[in-house]
Structure 1
């Protein structure tokens, strides 16, 4: 790979620019920014002090921005940590992650706790890292200080989060937070499930059966939450975001809110677009997440919602834990008490492409849903998510035609438990470039070169 002594040109017959895939070159300056996009006819006019890295017909496109990652460090580093999570990101073509405010201890609910997280990440980042703040009961006065410190936005839970140090909020808490955030250009993201106070499980139900778990979190929990969110989003001048939408029944509410002009964005996850409830075995805790993976028909409605615009982006919601909490030992298998979370940070591009290409999605679509729109959500689109002059030289170089099998030996995140083990996927990441420097190359990693990045809301 090119060194850092001169400017560098990365060229390919398939560079994803605003007007599509084409032969072009990306000229990178010593500061790690894109100096110039060179079209095919300009490539022969290069100056002699430029190192050229020609990747032939491999695709060069913007590095992925995964805006929903649980790193868990400090406090639960036995679950995951910055070193392993960011290596997994680099191996998957992800150049920026946004770390959620839980399940670390402390959670990112104050500026002081944010600083603790930043210190914990130092020297361990193979890709760039941004931080979400959290909204919990009583911390509204902390929010503006966290905006100024650079968080990409805030997340709250409308139902219990699963960890005691990050309690869920009431409607009154949400309204107080929205009032506090007006005028900041920040965003409030919602875990959109409401506890409806209904009993969905009988004592005689088999807790190792996936269908029992599915009944425990019916679509109407999401519908009720999204009904509340869309009402509040229309009332306040604050961007609102729904994380990991799984229930297609909620899509009409999203469509109506967007049509009325509400500042609302919505994500779904790779597992909801790849997996389906009918194919999940009993006692297979690696498939458990909240909200749950639903039916095959539901999955296809989510794909349609990407086309129609109800869904704006696709993220991993990488939420690992120890094998003990996942209850992987034979005979454990309780879907109601096992930790809910799916590990997929490393495989998002390939998971999405494997399914998307079957549905005639283009590589430009992939980049929009996995790079550009997440960067906009996080206020990082001044530097990330597109190949444009002046932006960070972050890109993934990959082969859409190559295939590989997910095996434990290639998994970079701390624990190797994932529902994708043994799955054959399309699209192989060959190189990951961060500010013009190679952080991943065919299974090999550079020393950590990632930096902390700040939302543009903090720069205003």
Structure 2
């Protein structure tokens, strides 16, 4: 009876001199990287007070959490390929955001490809927003793209609220999103620097890839040989040179290698405005354990060996790598060629939005890395990269995007549990750590069928 009453009403003081809509009392809550206890007051979707746990704020609804869950900020994933419109059979806003909500990811930012049209103009951005509106379970923002033919369109993209623009230095895999040459990259970064924007770069060098072995057949080792770490390192060096020359903020997406991490480390020490991300699959999977003929593990750059994995964890620990995001990039099962198993012909992309955090938390626990570190990499860090100060943290003035996480509870990934469009993921059958019990988006508790997400714009 007492537990039921705590869900319905509270008795106590009005906090922060404001009437509340909701209060959440948590015996365990992560605030500023420290686990503590607190009572949060929420009004109009914003955290307006943080009181001692013993306080029962005056609110029409007071939720008191159990001691086996920790209240964490909603996760932020800034690298998600939703693919709608145009390739909605691969993934769409409804299915991708449902997978995000199931994982405790309350904010995602959509990549400019592989939708048709790609997000290369303000008109294409408007088309994407029109399709997404009213279909998102969580908040969604958008990256734009930079290709050789749209550099004059970049100012309008930024003016319409993209959080930055992404480019490739080699073939993207889709013809409508061609790569930039080194000279074009320099030109594009001058434009982005003048706007005060951010350039995201898929860094693999086409020259190195051209002379590398052609990927073919079922051998995973042969596929890794076709995308060597030298391709990543040479391309990152190109980005560093362009960033230093233009002053443009650059961000290396899905960093996969020790060699690449070392270049970023040295560039940061030299004052180059560069950041980097890595992904759950690079931190939790290793080439030595991937069976041949398994295209669900294929991505570019590839999952490398255990030595590179250890180097990536070390680079996270020393601040070389700033964030961990999924690069959720699904396709249809037919394009993955699961029955054929040809790593050269199959579409490359890891479907992981729903399971990335739990996979990283499981590996972090084995390595003695704290939950606070994981949240910095997967919540506040991505929010900071995108310029979303109200996301990714529990603080007064922040959005009440909150997750009650059973951080000691394990679960096994089953086909039935998968929320994204197709049940293809390298994590199928894996035992992961951290079960989402409840989640709130701007103070609204999310149910599985609830579409409460807003479309976000970068504020200038």
Corresponding position of 2:226: 216
The answer to whether residue 438 in structure 2 is matched with residue 451 in structure 1 is: no
Corresponding position of 2:363: 355
Q: How does 1:12-31 map to 2 (within 5 A)?
A: 12-18=26-32, 20-29=34-43, 31=44
Q: Where in structure 2 are there 5+ consecutive unaligned residues?
A: 1-6, 10-18
Correspondent of 1:65 among 54, 71, 76: 76
Q: Secondary structure at the residue paired with 2:420?
A: coil
Q: Secondary structure at the residue paired with 1:346?
A: coil
- Cα distance in 2 for partners of 1:207, 1:19 equals 46
The answer to whether residue 260 in structure 2 is matched with residue 250 in structure 1 is: yes
Q: How does 1:56-455 map to 2 (within 5 A)?
A: 56-57=66-67, 58-197=69-208, 198-201=210-213, 207-329=217-339, 332-381=340-389, 383-440=390-447, 445-455=448-458
Structure 1 residue 206 displacement after superposition: 5.9
Structure 1 residue 88 displacement after superposition: 0.1
Corresponding position of 1:37: 50
- Cα distance in 2 for partners of 1:37, 1:452 equals 27
Q: Secondary structure at the residue paired with 2:388?
A: coil
Structure 1 residue 446 displacement after superposition: 3.8
- Cα distance in 2 for partners of 1:185, 1:34 equals 30
Contact 1:15–1:25 under 8 Å retained in 2? no
- Cα distance in 1 for partners of 2:31, 2:168 equals 37
- Cα distance in 1 for partners of 2:272, 2:8 equals 46
Q: Secondary structure at the residue paired with 1:345?
A: coil
Q: Where in structure 1 are there 5+ consecutive unaligned residues?
A: none
Q: 4+ runs of 1 displaced by more than 4 Å?
A: none
- Cα distance in 2 for partners of 1:2, 1:215 equals 60
- Cα distance in 1 for partners of 2:234, 2:379 equals 30
- Cα distance in 2 for partners of 1:394, 1:373 equals 15
Q: Deviations over 1:377-410 (max 9, x none)?
A: 11112x1111111111111110110010000111
* TM-score of the two chains, using structure 2 as the length reference: 0.94
Aligned alpha-carbon RMSD (Å): 1.6
Q: Deviations over 1:161-201 (max 9, x none)?
A: 00011001112221221111224332000001011254332
Structure 1 residue 79 displacement after superposition: 0.1
Identify if the C-alpha distance between structure 1 residues 185 and 388 changes in structure 2 by more than 3 Å, giving closer, same or farther. farther
Q: Deviations over 1:291-314 (max 9, x none)?
A: 000001111111111101111000
Structure 1 residue 232 displacement after superposition: 1.1
Structure 1 residue 235 displacement after superposition: 1.5
Q: Deviations over 1:104-163 (max 9, x none)?
A: 000000000000000010111000000000000021111111111110111000000000
Q: Secondary structure at the residue paired with 1:403?
A: strand
- Cα distance in 2 for partners of 1:200, 1:2 equals 64
- Cα distance in 2 for partners of 1:149, 1:28 equals 30
Structure 1 residue 6 displacement after superposition: 5.7
What is the aligned length?
Answer: 443
- Cα distance in 1 for partners of 2:324, 2:216 equals 32
